[in-house]
Amino acid sequence: MSSLVVPAWAWALLASLVTVSIAIDLFAHRGDRVDSKTRALVWTIVWVAVAAAFGGWIAVRFGAIAAEEYFAAYLLEKSLSVDNLFVFLLVFGALKIPAAEQRRVLTWGILGAIVFRGALIFAGAAAVQRWHALTYVFGAILVYAAFKLLRGGEEEQKSPVLDWLSRRVRWTRTLHGHKFFVREGGKLIMTPLFIALIAIELTDIVFAIDSVPAAFAVSEQPFILYSSNLFAILGLRALYVVLAGALGNLRYLKYGLAAVLGFAGVKLLVASWVKLSPLASIAVIAVCLAASIIASLVANRRDRRISQLSLQDAQTHIATSEQ
C-alpha cells in the first residue's frame, strides 16, 4: 500500500476522540467503587464498539485496504496486550494492591503507555521509511520474543521488573491509601502504589518493543498503527477486570500469543517474497487465539471430569470398605 495521506484534521479527530473517551472513562469510574465483572464486560464491549466504529470511518475515508490494516493491527495489539495482564496480576499480587487502588494505577499506566507508544511508533515508522531493511530486524526480534514466550511458558511466578525495582529504590511496604509518596523520617519515599505504577510502565515498554514491531507486519502507516494501538489500550483496564479471574485457567493462551508473535515475525522476514493481505493476517491471528482458548477450555473440562471420576471412585471405595 502506498503512503497514506492523512490530513491534519484527521489527526485532530483521533486526538479529540481519544481525549473524550478517556474523560468518559474517568468520569464513569470516579470514586473507589470496584467494578463488577458484568459492568467491566459492558465497558469492554463499549470500547471494542468504539474501535470498530473508528475502523468503519477509516474504511469510508481511506478505503477498504486501510481499514483491513487497521483491524489487523488492532486485533494483534489487543491480543498481545493480554500478555501484559499476566504481569499486572503478578505485580498487584506481590505488592498486595487492593482492587480499588488497582484501577488508579492502571489509569496512570495507560496514559503513560499512550505517550510512549506514540513516540515508539513514529520513530519506528520514520526509521523503516529510511532503512527498510530494519523490518528484518523487527522480524528477528519477534521470532525471538515468540521463542522466549514459549520457553518461559507458565512457569513465571514473579515479575523481574518488580524484583529489580525492589532492590534499587527506597520505598515502604505499607499502603497509604491513594498516595504514591509519603514522608518517613523526614524523607519522601515511594509507596507500593507508585512501585506498581513504575513496574507497569516499564513492563509496557518491554512489551511494546515486541508488540509495536509486530504491528509493522500488517501496516507501515503511522496513522493506522497509532490509532489501532490507542484503541487497543483504551479498553485494557476494563479487560483486566473481566479476565483477571480467568487468565490462570487459560493454560494454553501463552502458546497462542507466541504463535501470533511468531507469525508477525515470519511475515516481516519474508515480506519481500511472500505477500499476505491484511484480511489473511486477521484470520491467522484470530485462529491462533481461538485455538489456544478452546484448547484451554477443553483441557479444563477434562480435568474437572477426571477429578469428579476420581472423587466418585474414592467414595465407592470407602463405601465398599465400610460394608
Query: pLDDT by residue (tens digit) across 260-278?
Result: 888 888 888 887 787 777 7
* pLDDT number for residue 91: 80
Say if 226 falls within a structural domain. Answer: yes
With left for phi above 0 and alpha for psi between -120 and 50, is residue 7 left, alpha or beta?
beta
Task: Give the pLDDT of residue 153.
Answer: 47
320 has pLDDT over 70: no
Give the model confidence (pLDDT) of 5-33 as tens digits. 889 999 999 999 988 988 888 777 666 66
Q: How confident is the model at residue 313, as a pLDDT?
A: 61
Picking from 42, 31, 50, the residue whose alpha carbon sits closest to that of residue 239 is 42
Highest mean pLDDT among 69-73, 176-180, 192-196, 246-250: 69-73
310 confidence band (pLDDT: 50, 70, 90): low
Res 52 pLDDT > 70? yes
1 or 280, which is more confident?
A: 280
**Per-residue pLDDT for 156 more than 60?**
no
Whether the Cβ atoms of residue 232 and residue 242 lie closer than 8 Å to each other: no
Q: What's the average model confidence in pLDDT over 285-300?
A: 87
37 confidence band (pLDDT: 50, 70, 90): confident
Residue 322 scores a pLDDT above 60 = no
- pLDDT band at residue 154, thresholds of 50, 70 and 90? very low
- What is the reported pTM? 0.79
Question: Has residue 309 been placed in a domain?
Answer: yes
Residue 205 in this model has a pLDDT that exceeds 70: yes
Task: Give the model's pLDDT for residue 259.
Answer: 86
128 versus 67: the higher-pLDDT residue is 67
Number of domains in the chain: 1
Higher per-residue confidence, 287 vs 152: 287
Among the listed ranges 51-55, 173-177, 280-284, which one has the minimum average pLDDT value?
A: 173-177
Query: What residue has cell string 487459560?
Result: 250
Residue 70 lies in a domain: yes
- Domain membership of residue 29 as a residue range: 9-322
Q: Identify whether 4 is part of a domain.
A: no
Cα(210)–Cα(215) distance, integer angstroms: 9
Mean pLDDT for 217-223 is 86
When mean pLDDT is compared across 57-61, 62-66, 234-238, the lowest value belongs to: 234-238
Per-residue pLDDT at 155: 44
Residue 1 lies in a domain: no
Residue 247 resides in a domain: yes
Q: At what angle do helices 278-322 and 64-95 cross, to 10 degrees?
A: 40
What mean pLDDT is reported for the chain? 80
64: amino acid identity, one letter? A
Please tell me the predicted confidence (pLDDT) of residue 318. Answer: 61
257 contacts: CB under 8 Å, gap ≥ 6: 79, 80, 82, 83, 149, 288, 289, 292
Helix/strand number for the chain, H first, E second? 11, 2
Give a yes or no: residue 67 inside a domain. Answer: yes
Residue 3 belongs to a domain: no
**pLDDT greater than 80 at residue 207:** no
